[in-house]
A and B are shown apart, each in its own frame.
Chain A
Amino acid sequence: MSVAALSAADDAARTSDAPRPDAGVEVRLERLSKSFGSVTAVDNVNLTIPAGAFVTLLGPSGSGKTTTLNLIAGFLAPDAGNIAFDGRPVASVPPHRRNIGMVFQSYALFPHMTVFDNVAYPLRMRNRLAREALTIRVGESLELVGLTKLEARYPRQLSGGQQQRVAMARALVSRPRLLLMDEPLGALDKKLRERLQGEIKDIHRRIGSTFVYVTHDQTEALTMSDLVVVMRDSRIVQVGSPRSVYEAPVDAFVADFLGGANLLPGEVMANERDAYAVRIANGRMISVPQTGASHAPGSKVLVFIRPEDVKISHSEEMVGNVVTTAAVVREVLFLGESFKVTAMVGPHPVVLRAPRVQAEGIEIGGHVMLAWPPERSRALAAPTGSVSP
């Protein structure tokens, strides 16, 4: 292909806003397992990553995220199970033929090469391009990540954020249909991290490749992903959209890991139509919708409710379909736009956010009413060994 034809094709690709429908690859993991000696790093993982999706593996350190990514990349061979790209098994395909781009946690920029040579590396290995075409492609990739005029520098002469962008440009330059990122923003400060989150999301929208993103930061996972995969102890515990994992966690671990969660111990007293009647620590019966796992009467549960769904008031009067319970204020923290209030329901704390107007007259030791819409709460199985109500 001539240079002119190539850049004409590029122009066409750039002017059409939507990425090509086949821009991303579908990745399927089937019963995937991997151990290191006696340590199980990935345990029977099943997951389908849709073509073109932004999927985040979210979990605490040591939960098996990097190992899963290394299995997809082909750096490690699974002990059991299969990986398929677009339905084709890749077990016999070595990493350099999987056509993947990758951003490493340490960036892994080649220290003995300039920015230009780093970004050109995948093109030199994969595509035989004339020098002009190569220069154009490298320039485009650097432009995509918002980095220009630094081509002649060496990685050690760049700031952390600039190194991160070079790593992105290198991973994207050969237009891979799959991009793997292992905590790519982990080493950056909060402000820069937030900006780059937006930019990465924007790049995903423009190129349409499948992105598999690893992080232990729940905000990052919620803001960036189409699909969040929550991992714990080498296993997947929940897969869903950011909203569904945030609003309907399957267990107390997910509830807590995705953000501040109130978990009130209680006991299921009865099943009424589509709701449980749960008695909580202060003796009050509250209604919790029956969704997800079912609980028999008599079983111990944790009633889950997000702090921002809990309202506070001084009077018994609460309008609308709400669950109410009495509580005693233990702590009030001024956060700026709101107050963070901790109130005790029996021996258990409930945290909530009160806007400044609502917080008028709330003082430590005061008796208040807490209320929340029952549909925002969930009954989660109490982990064995938890305190009984």
Chain B
Amino acid sequence: MRAPRASLAVNGLAGAVLVFLLFPVLVVVLISFSSVDFLSFPPPSLSLRWYRTIFSNFEWINAFLLTLQVGALTALLSTLLGVPAAFALSRHVKRGQNVVNALVLAALVTPPIIKAISIYLYYVPFGLLNTVPGLAFAHTVSGIPFVVINVVAGLRGYDRDLERAASIHGASPLRAVLGITLPLIAPSIIVGAVFAFMQSAQELLIAMFVLGTLEKPLAVKLWEGVRVAIDPSLAAATTSVTVLAILGLVTVMLAGRRARPTRVAVQG
């Protein structure tokens, strides 16, 4: 009798917390479908006019495309650098693994403003300011840890005998890794790359420093929009970004589900 009541209380509390966390998002989503010019909640009636507004506005479309460009390049570079780093870390670093792990994570915990300023100063002589690759390089610094952490975890659950089986049956080390190991840890790589992308898409500070005011990715555009004039088009843009994040999460979940039968087969 007691246990169900306790679990009821726990569930109730969890639900309350969830509502508290999700309510602002819900407000924004609803406002984005508003039919009026000002922010009012709940909206008097629903329409898609603010989505038409932003998706027919060059500035918003450019911001969207820029975010996609920078994010994709960030995800690609983070993967290209992070996957070999994860292999090296989990296979060749025998002592001091904690130190190396801490170093990798340092990129995540460095205050953004410090990263932004140092990258700005560093970029001036290289002519990387105001360039898409420049911003992607900067975001890659924070993207690599996501890839490394996920791939190291993936390699930990990976049966090394599979690679040995490839190698004893004639595959060179490179072919064994490319043909057997990478396809089998692909879910971990995808998860890392998605996180690297989302990290880039939501980053504001470095983007403002590196791109200045010429080109604006979504995060910067939203920030400026809030300061200049608030109307439901901002809510529509925010909702679009949220949809992007949800798509990312769905990808991650699908990758995770693909990973499961692999692991069962490896064990059994």
Contact = CB atoms under 8 A, between A and B. Distances in A.
B220 to A, nearest CB: 42
State which size class the interface on A falls in. Answer: 20 to 34
B164 interface: yes
Interface string A110-137: 1110000000011001100000000000
A102 B184 contact: no
Most chain A CB within 10 A, of B173, B175, B266, is at: B266
B265 A154 contact: yes
B164 A96 contact: no
Given A106-B159, A108-B161, A73 B262 contact: no
30 contacts: A73-B164, A75-B167, A75-B168, A94-B172, A95-B164, A95-B168, A96-B172, A96-B176, A100-B168, A104-B165, A105-B161, A108-B162, A108-B165, A110-B162, A110-B165, A110-B166, A110-B180, A111-B184, A111-B265, A111-B266, A112-B184, A122-B169, A122-B170, A125-B170, A125-B171, A126-B169, A126-B170, A156-B264, A156-B268, A170-B169
Nearest to A74: B168
Contacts of A205: none
Given A104-B164, A108-B164, A156-B268, A96 B170 contact: yes
B267 to A, nearest CB: 8
Contacts of A100: 168
Interface residues of B, number: 25
Interface in B161-203: 161-162, 164-173, 175-176, 180, 183-184
Contacts of A101: 168-169
A32 interface: no
A75 B265 contact: no
Given A104-B161, A104-B164, A108-B161, 18 more contacts: A94-B167, A95-B164, A96-B167, A96-B171, A98-B168, A100-B168, A101-B169, A108-B162, A108-B164, A110-B165, A110-B166, A111-B266, A122-B169, A122-B170, A125-B166, A125-B171, A154-B265, A170-B169
B184 A121 contact: no
A109 B170 contact: no
Chain B at the A interface: mostly helix, strand, loop or mixed?
Answer: helix
Residue from B159, B164, B168, B265 with most neighbouring chain A CB atoms (10 Å): B168
Contact of B169 (A105, A106, A171): A171
A174 interface: yes
Q: Which of A102, A108, A171 has the most CB of B within 10 A?
A: A108
A156 B159 CA distance: 15
Interface of A: 73-75, 94-96, 98, 100-102, 104-106, 108-112, 121-122, 125-126, 154-156, 160, 170-171, 174, 180
Nearest to B164: A75
Contacts of A98: 168
Contacts, number: 83
A278 to B, nearest CB: 49
Given A111-B184, A111-B261, A156-B261, A106 B166 contact: no
B265 A106 contact: no
A96 B172 CA distance: 6
A121 B261 contact: no
Nearest to B183: A112
Contacts of A154: 265
B168 A73 contact: yes
B169 A102 contact: yes
A307 B265 CA distance: 43
Nearest to B171: A125
Nearest to B161: A108
B104 to A, nearest CB: 25
A79 to B, nearest CB: 16
A125 to B, nearest CB: 3
A114 B178 CA distance: 18
B168 A102 contact: yes
A171 B165 CA distance: 9
B166 A155 contact: no
Contacts of B176: 96
The list of the 3 closest CB pairs from A to B, nearest first, reads A125-B170, A111-B265, A122-B169
Interface string B241-268: 0000000000000000000011011111
A112 B262 contact: yes
B168 A96 contact: yes
A98 B159 CA distance: 22
Nearest to A123: B170
B262 A174 contact: no
Contacts of B261: 111, 156
Nearest to A122: B169
Contacts of A108: 159, 161-162, 164-165
A167 to B, nearest CB: 8
Contacts of B265: 109, 111, 154-156
Nearest to B262: A111
Contacts of A171: 169
A125 B175 contact: yes
Contacts of A110: 162, 165-166, 180, 184
Contacts of B173: 94, 96
Contacts of B169: 96, 101-102, 121-122, 125-126, 170-171, 174
